[in-house]
Structures are given as structure tokens and as C-alpha cells.
Structure 1
Amino acid sequence: MKDQRTTETDEVTKQLESADEHIQLAVDLIYLLESNKIDPNVVVKALDIVSADFNKKLNK
């Protein structure tokens, strides 16, 4: 018999698998950054640079 936590995890996994690609990428990035214990201030500064770079690419 599955416990409550396993059931909830299975449900979240199903929802994520059917989520839009940008949501899946965001979740993966959050997991990666949190798993590596990156300072949130560093993350925000880095993401500003990444965002600016990709916005330039969109506007070409």
C-alpha cells in the first residue's frame, strides 16, 4: 500500500509530465540551483543575464 507522500509525489510527477515545456524547464532549473545550494542573490543576478541574452536572441 502506498503512503500519502508517495501518492502525492506520483500526482505531482504526472502533472509535471503534462505541463508546458517552459514549466518543466523552470522546475528543473529550480531543482538544479537548490540542489547545489546556490545563493538566491547569485541566482537572480545570473538569471537576469540569461534573460537579457535570450531576449536579444528573440529580437533578432
Structure 2
Amino acid sequence: MNEIPETGFLRLPQVLSVIPLGKTCWWEGVRSGRFPKPVKLSARCTAWRAEDIRELINALSEQTEQ
């Protein structure tokens, strides 16, 4: 998780560089509530809170350990 800052925002390519999914799969997970909802920074700029992505990675790694 060295690529993820402690705080701030991540654009989709940054998110998908640490969570190996395709865009379609990611957006389906966002719509279903499995993945965090994005924040609209402007009309054409969507990002995710770094803290939310860190929590998601921790939750996914706990699921694989069980």
C-alpha cells in the first residue's frame, strides 16, 4: 500500500493499480455497494478518498485470510 497516500484522493487509474480489477467490474462493485462511493471533485473529475481505499484493501485481505 505504499502507492496510496495516507490522506487525499485517488483517481480511478490509481485505484485500479492497487486493486487488480477492470473498470467495468469496479463500477459494478461501486453501484452494488461492495466498493466505496466516489467523490465528485468537479463535473468531469471523480475520485475516491484514500482512506476508503485503504479500508477496502484491509477488508478484502481479511476475507482472503479466512
| TM-score range for the pair, normalised by the shorter chain length | 0.3 to 0.5
TM-score (norm 1): 0.39
* Larger of the two Rg values belongs to structure: 1
Which protein is richer in helix relative to its size?
1
Q: TM-score, normalised by structure 2?
A: 0.36
Higher relative contact order (CA closer than 8 Å, sequence separation 6+): 2
